[in-house]
Amino acid sequence: MNFSDYQRLSRCTAQYPSIGHAVIYPTLGLTNEAGEVAGKIKKIFRDKAGAIGEADREALKAELGDVLWYLAQVCTELNLSLEDVARHNLDKLASRQARGAIGGEGDER
């Protein structure tokens, strides 16, 4: 599956309340889901000395899928294609790498 297909198909399940601008709800959902990913990773290091087992990997896959879903909805609400966002990000990182600034905030260099 490519990003365009995912963005289009994910939209079929996009049902969320209107709370002002349409981008607000999926943005809040994105931050919430990203926090859940971070929380699961934190607990793996706290409780399992960083050993990521198959059950952990499956749980993280589910949470990362939720992150992807909300990211796709934010892009849609902003009239951006997820594919264009991904390409722009890779181009930006390649530029930073070419300038020797991949390790930090390369936009200032």
Decide: 7 and 87 in contact? Cβ < 8 Å. no
CA distance 81 to 104: 26
**Model confidence pLDDT, tens digit, residues 17-36:** 989 999 999 999 999 999 99
In this structure, what token pair is assigned to residue 29?
């959902």
For the domain 1-97, what is the CATH superfamily, name and number? MazG-like (1.10.287.1080)
CA distance 68 to 3: 10
Q: Give residue limits of the domains in the chain.
A: 1-97
Q: How confident is the model at residue 103 (pLDDT cuts 50, 70, 90)?
A: confident
Q: What are phi and psi of 50, to 5 degrees?
A: 85, 5
**Model confidence pLDDT, tens digit, residues 50-87:** 999 999 999 999 999 999 999 999 999 999 999 999 99
**Predicted TM-score (pTM) of this structure:** 0.90
Q: Is 6 exposed, middle or buried (0-12, 13-18, 19+ CB in 10 A)?
A: middle
